[in-house]
Chain A
Amino acid sequence: MSNFLLRLYIAGRSATSQRAQSNLYALRSLIGPEWRVEIVDVLSEPELAEQAGILATPTLSYEHPERPRRIIGDLSDAKRVVEFLGIEVKEKYA
């Protein structure tokens, strides 16, 4: 199950944080319902961000046990995001 977790680190309600969140929700339609999405606000949970070594927001983190990957930015280019994370786009959702 943990293989299918995307964690988005944001900072409060800033414009970019909100944009990244809505882009992420839109992106879920590309990758299928088995993916879980978690939002971490580094302003309210700084210790989580600290542990994960988050230097910038928005950062999308794919917590893969062997090959964790991270993307910085507002995730506006959904296809490239998915590609970088190495997630297979499900045909029926594409």
Chain B
Amino acid sequence: MSSAAFPDNIDQAEIRFLVEKNADGIIVVDDEGVVLFANPACEAMFGRAPESLIGSPVGIPLVAGETTEITLHKPGGAQVEAEIRVVHTNWGRRPARLASIRDISARKAIEEQLRHASKMEAIGKLTAGIAHDFNNLLTVVLGNLELAQRQNEQEPLARILDNATRGARRAAVLTERLLAFSRRKPLEPKLINANVLVCGMSDLLRQTLGETITVQTVIADNLWPIEVDPTELETAILNLAVNARDAMPKGGEVIIETANTELDEAFAPLDAEVKPGPYVLISVTDTGTGMAPEVLRQVFEPFFTTKLDGRGTGLGLSQVYGFVKQSGGHVKLYSELNRGTTAKIYLPKADAKMAPHQTEYPDHRSGRLPVALPGEAVLVVEDDDDVRVYTVSSLRNLGYVVFEASDAAAAVQILKCEPSIRLLLTDLGLPGGMDGKALAMRAQSIRRDLQVLITTAYAGNVLIHEGRLDRGIDLLSKPFTLSALANRVRQMLDRYEPPNRTPGHILVVDDELLLRMMLVDALSDDGYRLEEAGSFAQALEKLDSIGGSLSGAVVDLGLPDQPGDLLVSAIRTIKPNIPIILTTGYSDRDTTKRFSADERIRILMKPFDPYLVVDALRRLEGQPPTSANLR
């Protein structure tokens, strides 16, 4: 101790005071590692009174370099992460070591959070990249399968192609989930009330979870509105509920709660991405097996699953994580082994200025119902007599010519005899080996232009997410209202444009040769004349030579030399009104927003069915929708 550091007027007691008041713990140990002294700050770190530490054989702290990190264990099992420094000193004229101990638990926790966040970010980037490339390939696979199916007239080959298509579609669903996790899935945020959504799901949940599990919903009064994609939120809740179910093989209880909550600064630092402020909390609690901390740390990672025998894809919670993060929210899991798990989804309260008086939610449309055009015929297939009678009479009241059947075999017979039928409305669950989906496929193989609307009492979302539905097949969840029925039937029938059109001259721009070839095939099938380009530069050349006669364009947003956006501007300066279809492997809200002002632009996600491109083009160039109820 140099006298310069301590002026003469500082006495021994004051120096001792410094040691006692020091926020860092200070202990002195002798050559055998036995504690000779501990200052008061040690009490909080060791969980023991300083006096009781004296005499304990704690050991000699050996530090290579300046500091080292150790863990202190308090009685009862609590732990403190600490950083220690050691200096040689004397104590009572004997050589000793002084260890200065700093509690770094808080810093370590934040570091761990950041590390975890950046790991998730890295996995997200990797996933998005893979999903993007995969989507391109799947587009080629699915598209060519579709082309083959259209040209094929042999029954056995049709089945093989069907199987191949189903497999490829399942792969497409997986890539979609990967995109959801990596927050690259295009969302359609709507202003909604989570209470309406949660209540609307209760039947679906009861059906999905089975009889051994009771579902309880606890709804907050005056819940704030949120602006999120309702379909994705439903999927997220369903994913959590399915996990809850799988955690309770012997049954139990699932409680879904909503609440208004403020996340404050105290909560926010736990996660670097959380902004303090008002949030709507949706929590899903189960009374199941719970998860160990090691599992809990990994559950949001893609492909992490604890479900045996391939029941899980490991992407359920990844969807929840991706969706919530992409929506500006936050998700937290609390779990205790053998007690249960609570998943909490925090979604930011929607800006009050944007909140209309009444929150919007699908199927709550008012006004007059859209009715049938003269002669439009519909086939209703439903095994439940009551439901069939209701559906048939509703449709007749709307002016449709209605045929009915109670099983798939009868429906196929009717379809073969009645060419006027334009829409098949079938229940998903049908007796006799062929369900609604199989019937839909069979029906469309008989009549390519037939529209199919499948009704189902449960698991509508599960069906969509585990096997994407075919083109021209839509889902209507039971129980449905008359207005939902009227709107959906009208909407589907209006999808088909009237004949008598002259297909024009289309420019197809995509750097993926196979994909471009496929689009060219599909479009030329439909009578279009085509120009191709594989880059921005080539596309400009084409524009220069044929720009005047151009009647439409299909443009990949990710071109090798320049962004597709630029090409859109270039096309628009020559042709302000022609339809443009933009294709993209992953899009975000920005992309959708950027082009939302231009009504003659449609964005299609890869992988797409090439005929969807044809449909979209036709719709853009065709007549405006005849019904005011269309989206």
Contacts and interface: CB of A to CB of B under 8 A. Distances in A.
Contacts of B69: 15-16, 74
B46 interface: yes
Given A16-B70, A55-B46, A70 B64 contact: no
A10 B448 CA distance: 68
Interface in A27-61: 42, 46, 49, 53-61
A38 B36 CA distance: 29
A73 B57 contact: no
Contacts of B57: 53, 68, 70
Contact of B64 (A42, A58, A69, A77): A77
B62 A84 contact: yes
B59 A57 contact: no
B524 to A, nearest CB: 61
Given A70-B33, A73-B68, A11 B73 contact: yes
A75 B69 CA distance: 11
B63 interface: yes
Interface string B511-524: 00000000000000
Contact of B62 (A53, A56, A67, A75): A75
Interface residues of B, number: 25
B616 interface: no
Contacts of A84: 60, 62
Contact of B70 (A42, A57, A67, A69): A57
B56 A58 contact: no
B115 to A, nearest CB: 11
Contact of A53 (B56, B65, B70, B77): B56
Contacts of A42: 73
B72 A71 contact: no
Given A53-B57, A69-B33, A81 B62 contact: yes
B296 interface: no
Interface residues of A, number: 31
A15 B60 CA distance: 21
Contact of B61 (A49, A61, A72): A72
A2 interface: no
A40 B220 CA distance: 50
B79 A69 contact: no
B63 A16 contact: no
Contact of A70 (B53, B58, B63, B68): B58
Given A11-B71, A16-B69, A74-B68, A59 B59 contact: yes
Contact of A46 (B46, B64, B77): B77
Contacts of B62: 71-73, 75, 77, 80-81, 84
A72 B60 contact: yes
A56 B71 contact: yes
Interface string B36-53: 000000000010100001
Interface string B65-84: 10011111100010100101
Contacts of A46: 77
Contacts of B48: 55
A78 B70 CA distance: 17
B71 A71 contact: no
A77 to B, nearest CB: 4
B153 interface: no
A76 interface: yes
A85 B57 CA distance: 14
B32 interface: yes
A16 B71 contact: yes
Given A55-B58, A73-B70, 17 more contacts: A11-B71, A16-B68, A16-B69, A49-B73, A53-B56, A53-B57, A56-B58, A58-B71, A67-B32, A71-B61, A71-B62, A72-B84, A74-B69, A75-B62, A76-B65, A77-B64, A81-B62
Interface of B: 32-33, 46, 48, 53, 56-65, 68-73, 77, 79, 82, 84
17 contacts: A11-B71, A55-B53, A56-B59, A56-B82, A57-B70, A58-B71, A69-B32, A69-B33, A69-B59, A70-B33, A70-B58, A70-B60, A71-B33, A72-B62, A76-B64, A76-B65, A77-B64
